Chain A
């Protein structure tokens, strides 16, 4: 399924994303804000509509026909995701609201279940706020310490500093797979192997990885992996937490409520089995189903073809952007994916973003929810162009034309 040898038929793929067929301010839309959220193929939109039109019903409850259809579709998606991540068991796949929700779930559960005063959690200097703040809150609550692996000027983690940081007080390493603001792809196998040599579990924030690369949680051997549906061509409001069964069994539930219980009395509640122990309340059924369809869609295109095309695009974009005088890239990692962050002379990224918008080009400007990264590189903000498999080289040329208009304006 993922060994596509065919090149990507981008023109055909673009017809499957209705939103891309429009003009913005009278110019063809060039959507280069994929790291913020990706666009959705028509099959995903149809699947969500289909659910509401034909079998909207609650899951795991009714004996009636519609409830059975909804429950089946919901649980089949869990199987789609198990295969997508190559997890060994369905019990290891937990539906969340998104990456942030998944990290908060773990921070709360790990905090309550296994963190004592003086314990340490390790993150890196390139984390998104969603992989900083939940740990900060938990550490404050438990009297634990948050430690941060520094990064070099290219935006790569300093492995020796990481090695020195690991000790008997370290209880978890939580690290981003692919940085949303720098585009860095971290050496996860090395990071995980080193942590495991000291029996420390590792959580991987895969939000920016799954749109671009095949993830195999068993090959990575990570203990936890989180991602969001909306970054991988699915709907907003859904995400996945993968956790190794032995960990999830040990950890206490996050939220209490319906679905996560076996038996409730006012004296004592017996919690449900995995994965339901971590899924309190009626889930986001329609969007879970939409996520399943999105992942099947991506797998049908094939990650080999996607990676090849996107690497081409990024190399082309880097090459073209370098033509511009005063161009400074923020993040120059050798191994990169997804996004290019840059600063253009002393022109503020907001001004760049506004002018690009009028040329139909959608980029993100600002700190990208990674303020510590901005502080590290001593910039208040950057302009970020982020790519998906439906982007084209012609669109990068349009970005270039728009950037020349920026320079013209501010010359």
Chain B
């Protein structure tokens, strides 16, 4: 059970049970839906961006404990961050969940995200852990495209 405890850390189980920012936002400036056709996981990410800062972020959908906790933790981290910072966190997180198993993880660098380091040991679950982050990025980017045509 040890490596399972690595994956299902208390923090992850808590976020799964009581997810933060788990609601439908009425007036987001950016939104996107993410879907994993392999497993049926589905998530909607809502963002309110003002002057390049994410002032509100929430999510809805259904998925496993890993995907739900990943969404929940992501929203708590990104609230108040700039769009540029959100992109940096995305890259950092991607590295964390896909890095070689032998690579040491600097908990300070990853902060709250460090609990997802165990995902590396479960390649089948990387997508669960990444879906909401990819969806967040898609929400930001799609709006960028629209904005550029205006």
A156 to B106, CA, bound (A): 54
Among B39, B40, B66, find the residue whose CB has the most chain A CB atoms closer than 10 A.
Answer: B40
1/0 per position for A345-383, CB-CB distance to B under 8 A?
001111100110010000001110001001000001100
Contact partner of A348 among B4, B42, B65, B122, CB < 8 A? B65
What number of A-B contacts does a CB cutoff of 8 Å give? 51
B-side interface size class: 20 to 34
The answer to whether B40 touches A348, judged by C-beta atoms less than 8 angstroms apart, is: no
Contact partner of B62 among A351, A365, A380, A410, CB < 8 A? A380
The answer to whether B7 touches A354, judged by C-beta atoms less than 8 angstroms apart, is: yes
CB distance from B37 to the nearest CB of A (A): 9
Chain A residues contacting B38 (CB-CB under 8 Å) are 366
A409 to B65, CA, bound (A): 11
A272 to B121, CA, bound (A): 54
1/0 per position for B125-145, CB-CB distance to A under 8 A?
100100000000000000000
The answer to whether A350 touches B128, judged by C-beta atoms less than 8 angstroms apart, is: yes
A350 in contact with B39 given A380-B62, A410-B65 (CB within 8 Å): yes
The answer to whether B3 touches A358, judged by C-beta atoms less than 8 angstroms apart, is: yes
Whether, in the assembled complex, B8 has its beta carbon less than 8 Å from a beta carbon of chain A, the answer is yes
A355 in contact with B40 given A350-B64, A350-B66 (CB within 8 Å): no
The A-contacting residues of B in range 18-56, CB under 8 angstroms, are 38-42
The answer to whether B39 touches A405, judged by C-beta atoms less than 8 angstroms apart, is: no
Closest to B8 in A: A409
Chain A residues contacting B125 (CB-CB under 8 Å) are 350, 354
The answer to whether B8 touches A380, judged by C-beta atoms less than 8 angstroms apart, is: no
Chain A residues contacting B4 (CB-CB under 8 Å) are 354-355, 358, 409
A374 to B41, CA, bound (A): 12
Contact partner of A351 among B3, B8, B40, B42, CB < 8 A? B8
The 9 closest A-B pairs by CB, nearest first: A350-B64, A348-B64, A367-B40, A380-B62, A366-B39, A351-B65, A351-B64, A381-B40, A380-B40
In the assembled complex, 26 residue pairs joining A and B whose CB atoms fall closer than 8 Å, in A order, are A347-B65, A348-B63, A348-B64, A348-B65, A348-B68, A349-B64, A350-B39, A350-B41, A350-B64, A350-B66, A350-B67, A350-B125, A351-B8, A351-B64, A358-B1, A358-B4, A366-B38, A366-B40, A367-B39, A367-B40, A371-B40, A380-B40, A380-B41, A381-B39, A409-B4, A410-B65
